[in-house]
């Protein structure tokens, strides 16, 4: 963590709050009172170290190893309001999801995630125990999904809006990056990880994790999560199949994407970038998603699964098994007269397909 | 730029705003109405490309070259309220400063900056012309301070709080990183870049760029900037001596830091990390800062210059010239009985020295 800008400490001091009024390392300590340095002293020991770190946190910058002279970089931000409700997500969930969604972007290049840097901004009255829980979520995501990956630096600030910006790094281990533009006619289309589950979780939350006035309700969310743990957790703390990114690359994947915006929208991205059409098999998609045909539309447009969508040379299947958790859900075909498109069982799928989350996600706080 | 989370578009749609009501590519377009994709289409062409990019923006992640099998990484966030006033900083200033302050952390490791990724969150009613101006500021900082460095990815979201998170990368070109813990007794202490100028600019802004009620005032700030361009610009759009980071490394610098929190605090960091004392020469500091002795205290504690503070082996001076813009301001000495410390002309400097900006910077918006 860089000490460069002690804006947390500044804001706390500016508020005229006196040091330690929350008790000595007590439960009541909040970010704006203890300041950035003490907060970091409590957070950093909870974070996993990176096996790629040549020089870890504590200087102006970290130094990371890039054994094959290249590295993969992606960044993504989660913001209170547009991206999450505090009545539904625990701080541990937020840390877990912030790491997982960035790790899946690294994995979707066929790379092994090596390290994260975290820029975290939280309201001055944020309890330090909440920041510790967020750090634990980051740690648990790294340990569970990408062993050896750790946090090599960051920045901690005060902001009225809880904001988590993660930048993630990966190692291609000598392989070519798996881009979105390499799908070829005849390739099989396959997916690893859930399909439509995170969107089902979100729909459940909007329908049932609210009080009588429709406002997000923490108690209702907890009950819902115990009744539908898979769907709700897929939304709040997704567990993408990170290791399958490298497995797909090793198996010769020709194109790959992280399914963040829904199968329809992301499959169309591969089609357009590659100059081919992608034909999804409706029955195979339902089987891969574990749902019956009536739920097909929601599975095809549901976003935020962060599963991996990849195309593989035809020799890879059938008969020959796909790597890891990948299941065949379609085939790459020649584009029709209207150019590259997404098809479902041979019929062109509406260009409006995809995760138009404005139907579900209002941007209000809660 | 990742397309992963179209939260800008979501929020715009959620607000029930209809597409295009601001006109066709018109001045009135705002982020929440046009959405992330169109905003990115207008921003990305303004950003400089990186000479280190093996694969630039447009996929799940970028791929960057690391010719010597290592890379330098740092991240820093700027937040409306704790870090800037919109009445004082233009959007171009914000882009410029966000890049410059991260580039200086890369430079302070002795590395050449190669690339940035930007996570930007802005209110839904932010005009696209403001985002374009911010992009132009990022571009101008890269072009002026670190030619060849460019933007390889990012994320654009809607947030109630304007937030700019930059992660910067650098190339050590086969050299060891210049850490903070390498200063040795007998080394000379030198600085490149202004001393105390950004703090003087901030003091001027708080004193004179306000209206009769003390609220930040854009007109007064513009007048002040034309009267005191150096000090005000040092605060709002600093131009750190980025190239001198590599120059210092090549000249054998034993320790180096970016002066973000003030000479006293950052010099003490080198002293503590290196197990030595740093003795600043008051007259040399004043000469380097271009001020008379009465201003010494403010020069020593003033922060945010983002100048480079380095130590060099004694053979480097006197007689032998220091690299780039470095000027000698003191000498590394053996720690006294109380251990490593900061001295000014032989006397221990108060441990409270440093940039306690709560005196100046209240965290209010404006």
A162-192 tens-digit pLDDT: 999 999 999 999 999 999 999 999 999 999 9
Q: Between chains, do A177 and B59 touch, taking CB under 8 Å as contact?
A: yes
Cβ burial A67-105 (10 Å sphere, 16+ → b, else e): eebbbbbbbbbbbbbbbbbbbbbbbbbbbbbbbbbbbbb
Which residue among B55, B115, B158 sits closest to A363, beta carbon to beta carbon?
A: B158
Residues of chain B with pLDDT under 50: 1-24, 353-363
Contact residues on chain B for A59, CB-CB shorter than 8 A: 109, 177, 179-180
Q: What is the pLDDT of residues A80-136, one digit of tens each?
A: 999 999 999 999 999 999 999 999 999 999 999 999 999 999 999 999 999 999 999
As given in the structure block, the two tokens for residue B17 are 């705003």
Which chain A residue's Cα is nearest to B266? Answer: A4
Q: How far away is chain A from the Cα of B319, in angstroms, using its nearest Cα?
A: 30
Identify the pLDDT of residue A28.
81
Contact residues on chain A for B146, CB-CB shorter than 8 A: none
pLDDT band at A148 (very low <50, low <70, confident <90, very high): very high
Q: Between chains, do A177 and B73 touch, taking CB under 8 Å as contact?
A: no
Neighbours of B359 (CB within 10 A): 13
- Residue B221's H or E segment, with its range, is helix B218-227
Is B111 an interface residue toward A (CB < 8 Å)?
yes
Q: What is the pLDDT of residues B230-268, one digit of tens each?
A: 999 999 999 999 999 999 999 999 999 999 999 999 999
Identify the pLDDT of residue B16.
36
Sequence-distant (6+) residues with CB within 8 A of A345 are: A279, A280, A281, A282, A283
Q: Which residues numbered 5-34 in B keep a CB inside 8 Å of some CB on A?
A: 5-7, 9-11, 13-15
* Residues linked to residue B191 through DSSP beta bridges, in sequence order: B309, B327
Contact residues on chain A for B159, CB-CB shorter than 8 A: 79, 81-82, 161, 163
Is A244 an interface residue toward B (CB < 8 Å)?
no
- Dihedral over alpha carbons B261, B267, B273, B275 (to 10 degrees): -160
Which residue among B55, B77, B258 sits closest to A165, beta carbon to beta carbon?
A: B77
Contact residues on chain A for B261, CB-CB shorter than 8 A: 3-6
Q: How far away is chain A from the Cα of B154, in angstroms, using its nearest Cα?
A: 6
Q: Between chains, do A2 and B76 touch, taking CB under 8 Å as contact?
A: yes
Report which listed range, A215-219, A360-364, B35-39, is most confident.
Answer: A215-219
Which of B4, B40, B265, B360 to mutate to probe the A interface, most A CBs <10 Å?
A: B4
Q: Between chains, do B165 and A75 touch, taking CB under 8 Å as contact?
A: yes
A226 pLDDT above the threshold of 80: yes
Is A35 an interface residue toward B (CB < 8 Å)?
no
A313 pLDDT above the threshold of 70: yes
- Residue A112's H or E segment, with its range, is strand A112-122
Q: What is the pLDDT of residues A296-308, one digit of tens each?
A: 988 999 999 999 9
pLDDT band at A15 (very low <50, low <70, confident <90, very high): very low
Q: How far away is chain B from the Cα of A16, in angstroms, using its nearest Cα?
A: 9
pLDDT band at A23 (very low <50, low <70, confident <90, very high): very low
The mean predicted confidence, pLDDT, of chain A is 89
Q: Between chains, do B105 and A165 touch, taking CB under 8 Å as contact?
A: no
As given in the structure block, the two tokens for residue A183 are 């799908």
Identify the pLDDT of residue B363.
47
Of A67, A82, A91, nearest in space to A139 by CA: A91
Structural domains in chain B, CATH included, are 7-171 (3.30.1330.10), 188-359 (3.90.650.10)
Decide if B111 contacts B197 (C-beta within 8 A): no
Is B163 an interface residue toward A (CB < 8 Å)?
yes
Q: Between chains, do B83 and A13 touch, taking CB under 8 Å as contact?
A: no
Which residue among B9, B76, B117 sits closest to A155, beta carbon to beta carbon?
A: B76
- Cα separation, B137 vs B48, whole angstroms: 11
Is B293 an interface residue toward A (CB < 8 Å)?
no
Q: Sign of torsion, CA B299 B105 A121 B35?
A: positive
Q: Between chains, do B4 and A155 touch, taking CB under 8 Å as contact?
A: no
Q: Is cis: bond before A77, omega within 30 of 0?
A: no
Contact residues on chain A for B77, CB-CB shorter than 8 A: 5, 119, 121, 155, 157, 163, 165
| Interface ipTM | 0.90
pLDDT band at A351 (very low <50, low <70, confident <90, very high): low
Contact residues on chain A for B55, CB-CB shorter than 8 A: 177, 179
Which residue among B67, B75, B180 sits closest to A69, beta carbon to beta carbon?
A: B67
Q: What is the pLDDT of residues A261-275, one digit of tens each?
A: 999 999 999 999 999
What strand order describes the sheet that includes B342-344? B255-259, B307-312, B188-192, B327-333, B277-280, B342-344, B347-348
């Amino acid at each position: 963590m860089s000490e460069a800008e002690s804006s947390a400490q500044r804001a706390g001091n500016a508020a005229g709050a006196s040091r330690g009024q929350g008790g000595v390392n007590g439960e009541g300590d909040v970010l704006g009172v203890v300041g950035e340095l003490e907060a970091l002293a409590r957070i950093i020991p909870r974070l996993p170290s990176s096996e790629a770190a040549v020089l870890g946190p504590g200087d102006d910058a970290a130094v990371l190893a890039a054994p094959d002279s290249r590295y993969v970089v992606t960044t993504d931000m989660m913001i209170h309001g547009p991206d999450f409700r505090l009545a539904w997500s625990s701080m541990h969930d937020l840390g877990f999801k912030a790491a997982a969604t960035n790790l899946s972007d690294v994995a979707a290049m066929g790379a092994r995630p090596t390290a994260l840097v975290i820029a975290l901004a939280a309201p001055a009255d944020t309890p330090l125990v909440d920041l510790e829980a967020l750090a634990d979520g980051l740690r648990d995501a790294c340990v569970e999904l990408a062993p050896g990956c750790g946090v090599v630096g960051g920045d901690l600030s005060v902001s009225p809006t809880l904001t988590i910006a993660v930048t993630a790094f990966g190692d291609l281990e000598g392989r070519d990056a798996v881009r979105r533009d390499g799908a070829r006619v005849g390739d099989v289309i396959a997916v690893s990880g859930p399909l439509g589950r995170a969107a089902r979780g979100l729909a459940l939350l909007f329908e049932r994790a609210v009080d009588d006035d429709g406002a997000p309700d923490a108690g209702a969310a907890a009950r819902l999560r115990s009744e539908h743990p898979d769907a709700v957790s897929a939304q709040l703390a997704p567990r993408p199949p990170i290791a399958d990114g490298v497995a797909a690359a090793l198996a010769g994947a020709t194109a790959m994407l992280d399914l963040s915006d829904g199968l329809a929208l992301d499959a169309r991205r591969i089609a357009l970038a590659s100059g081919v059409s992608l034909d999804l098999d409706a029955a195979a998609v339902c089987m891969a998603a574990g749902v019956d045909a009536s739920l097909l539309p929601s599975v095809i447009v549901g976003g935020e699964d962060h599963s991996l969508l990849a195309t593989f040379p035809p020799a890879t299947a059938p008969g020959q098994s796909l790597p890891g958790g990948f299941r065949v859900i379609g085939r790459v075909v020649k584009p029709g007269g209207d150019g590259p498109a997404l098809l479902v069982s041979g019929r062109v799928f509406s260009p409006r397909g995809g995760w138009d989350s404005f139907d579900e996600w209002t941007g209000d706080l809660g």
